[in-house]
Amino acid sequence: MAANYLTKTRVISYYNQKRLIQALGKSVHKVLEVGIFNSLLSEFLVREGYEVIRADFDPGLNPDIILDLKSDFEIAHNTFDVIVLFQVLEHIPYEDFEAAIKKIAQATKKFVVISLPYNTAYLTLQVQFFLYQYQRPRSVLFQIPKFWSNQPFTPDEHCWEMGLKGYPKKRIIASLENAGLQLKREYQDPLEPYHYFFVLEKLEKK
């Protein structure tokens, strides 16, 4: 792992990834992690007792499953308690994202948890007091999506980013709902608002 990869903000993201999965409850045990480049998440989860299957398009990373989200891939339906894709889906064209998330929704038994880059101009204010006892920091986040721009933060890697021109959050949510997923929770850490988390629940077919 490159020395400059494991930054403070990335560690914050790993913390939130693990925390959001744990918050799904004890019934969640079998996890499919899609996109594992330099990821420490599976190591954290295995130590917590989860069964983790790792998937990636790059065989050099030694994934358990070779999976290219841009291809016509297949995953057995209702196989995993939760499928997670953190900072992955923006690496493929939006139409491929919409097609892939439908198959992901079919493969999960219950949950899908994703994070996407949210390209905004933002200001974070954090206050912490030490009086008689420790108190948690309080944060306020001000942000404006860069709806006037179509330039991703990393244009050589990302095909699109939420918040940019043509990709408002409401469009992404509509695509997720069209795939058969219901928004259960959305979350931003004020210390790393660029990573926007969606906790999604599979809709039961009537």
The whole-number pLDDT of residue 101 equals: 97
Residue-wise pLDDT tens digits, 154-196: 999 999 999 999 999 999 999 999 999 999 999 999 999 999 9
* Domain boundaries 8-119+166-202, CATH class: alpha beta
The whole-number pLDDT of residue 143 equals: 96
User: Is the model's pLDDT at 21 over the cut of 90?
Assistant: yes
Residues in the chain: 206
User: Is the model's pLDDT at 198 over the cut of 70?
Assistant: yes
CB contact set of 145 (below 8 Å; sequence gap of 6+) = 118, 119, 120, 162, 163, 164, 168, 169
User: Is the model's pLDDT at 206 over the cut of 60?
Assistant: no
Give me the chain's average pLDDT, please: 92
Cα–Cα distance measured from residue 50 to residue 138, given in angstroms and rounded to the nearest whole number: 32
Looking at per-residue confidence, does 38 or 1 come out higher?
Answer: 38
CB atoms inside a 10 Å sphere around CB 153: 14
pLDDT band at 4 (very low <50, low <70, confident <90, very high): low
Question: Does the pTM exceed 0.85?
Answer: yes
3-state secondary structure of 11: helix
Q: How far is CA 71 from CA 59, 77, 113, 143, in A?
A: 15, 17, 21, 35
Instruction: List the helix and strand counts (H, then E) for the chain.
Output: 4, 9
Cα–Cα distance measured from residue 83 to residue 41, given in angstroms and rounded to the nearest whole number: 13
**Residue 202 · residue 181 · CB < 8 Å:** yes
Domain boundaries, the chain: 8-119+166-202
- Over residues 112-120, mean pLDDT: 98
